[in-house]
Each structure stands twice: as C-alpha cells, then as structure tokens.
Chain A
C-alpha cells in the first residue's frame, strides 16, 4: 500500500462515517455564540453612546466657563474708556476735584509739588500710579484755570462716549449688563450699574435684565437692578 493509497482509504472510509454531534450539542454551541455576538453588539453600541454623553457634558461645562469669561472680557472692553478718562482727570486735577478726592493712603506720603495756587497748601498726595507732574512754570496756574472749562467739556464728551460704550449690544441685542445678569455675576452687575449701564435696555427678544433676573429668581440681582431704576 502506497502513501496515497492510505490517504484515499482514509477519505473513503470517513465519507461513510455518518456520526454527527447531537442536535442538542450543536444548539448549545450556536446559542452560546449568538449570546456572545449580541453582547459584542451591545458593547459596540454602548461605547459611542457613552463617549457622546461625555462629549456633551464637556461641551456644557465648557460653555459654563466660557460665557462668564466672555462677559467679563466684554465688560472690560466697555469699561476701559471710562477708566482711562477717569485717569486723565486725575492727571490734571482741578481744585474742585482735589477737594472731593478721597485721601489716598500712599505709604510714601511725599508732599506733592505745588500744582497751582489754589492747590498750594493742600496736602493731598499724588496717586501712586500717576507720575508727579513737572513743576509748573510761573503763570501756568492762570493758563490751567483758563483751560478748565475745555477739560470739563472733553471729560463730559468722554463720559458720554463711555456711557454709549457701556450700553453697547451684541448680535442678540444683549448689553454687558444683560450678559452679567444671565450669568448671575452680581459684582459685575454692580460695577456696570455704578459705571452708568442702563438697566432697562431689552435684548432682541424684548427681555430686560430685570426680567431675566426674575426668570432666574435671583433675589439679590433683582434688588440691585430695582435699586438702579430697572423696570
């Protein structure tokens, strides 16, 4: 018998072999496989759902953080001109505002150089941020006195511009005050109102800051807005 004869005999004899596993054994194997396949399917579908849940949560948190930051930035941009104008008035104070100015607690209370005859003798130290002005030449006081009304006009114009800027609106018609109210930034709301923000400007949907505060049931915001004349 050759090698190939043996292989042929084996195949021929095996072909006559009708023995099969029981149907029950086959069913048990295939049932288990179906169960595992279903589990694999579930896992496959569950993973993206979980991932998307995390994504949406992250997105929500991101907006929670980004919106107040944006509101603060907007407020900063709007308040900057007003702050600058106040700085300018401090650089060249008049006798009137020197009297009104609160005494700043400068540790190095060096006596301020004589600015004007009206200011002579006033022991108000210069603010730390403001460099001391050079000694005024003789006759400068009268010149300054002459330019005081012009400075007041300029200051009024700047204040008017700042008021317009502080009430500027975004694409949705929201003012900085409205955005601050929406994000319950009480200190920012106070600062904006103190700087002249109009509490009665409604957004594109017709909601005023007070209406938003009422919807959100922010008691402190409502009080602050009502005190500022919000209707």
Chain B
C-alpha cells in the first residue's frame, strides 16, 4: 500500500522515468531492426558470412550488460554519459535475436516455394518482397519481440550511466537499502515487459499465414 502512496506522491517523476524507459527501448529496438533485418537478409544471400556475423553477435550477447555500458563510456561518438551510450548498448543486445530470426525465417521457407516464385519470373528483389519477407514475417517478429522484452529489462541498468529510466529507482533503492524503492522501479519495468510481449505477440499472430 505504501507503494501506491509513493506513486501518488511522486507521480510526475514516475511518469517521467517510465517515459524515458519506453523511449530507450523503442529507439534502440527500432535501430536494431533497421540494422538487423537487412543484415539477416544479407546473410541469406551470402551464406559464408553467416558464421562470422552470428558468431560476433553471439559474443556481444555474452558481455555482461553492466560491463558493456562501462566499456562504451570512453568511446568517442557512441560513448559518454547519458542516453546515447545506453541506446548503443541496447542496440548491441537487440541485434542477435533480430539478425538470427530474420536469417532462419527466410532460410526456413520451403525451397520449392522459392523456386516457384523464381519460376514465375520474379527478380531477387520481388522474391524477397513478395515471398520471403511475408512468409518469414512471423519468425522475424518473434525475434523483435524477444529483443524488445530483453531490452526492457536491460534498460533498467542504463540508469547506472545516467540515462534515466525506471532503473533510477532500483539503483537508488539498492544504494539506500530500501526494498520499496527497488520495487517502485522493478514492478513497472516487469509490467512493461509483459505488455510489450503481449502486444507484439498479437502482431505476430496477424502475420501467421496458416
């Protein structure tokens, strides 16, 4: 009950942090989609690049998030204190599921369907636009969904480098050993992740063609 009182008396701050958090995830996921989907498509055209590229994305994934945020700070352009650095780190984490699902979604299409498309006289671009992307859409969206949900969680750590978001309460709560404060950040972050998961799940189902 004291949590509700906390939210009521700090409603402006809570809304601000929630907004920052959503923005961090939205911007980073959008950038990751803009990079990851084309890279995934490229891998289907250049199969020999698959191992090194997915391998690299995998390695990024294994870097502990707090460490990655720390590593990025001294870098020029990407680095520094604030939202820009946090977004760069979140993009790095979002890339792997998006690239991997784009690749497997397209490669998993029955080769006979692809050949039927080519047999009708589709150019490579038409095949991609009219056959491969629509048929792989559900798998690609599943990757974006995973990336988004993970992003909501990871973005709480962005507060450590001054990027704001709901993590601010968590770090503050840890610093002053106040469970209520930790919960004030963790609970909305968890609900946000669930909401994103449910929403993208609905979108995903619209693209399942069977």
Q: Please indicate whether A and B come from the same complex rather than being unrelated chains.
A: no
| A residues whose Cβ falls under 8 Å from a Cβ of B | none
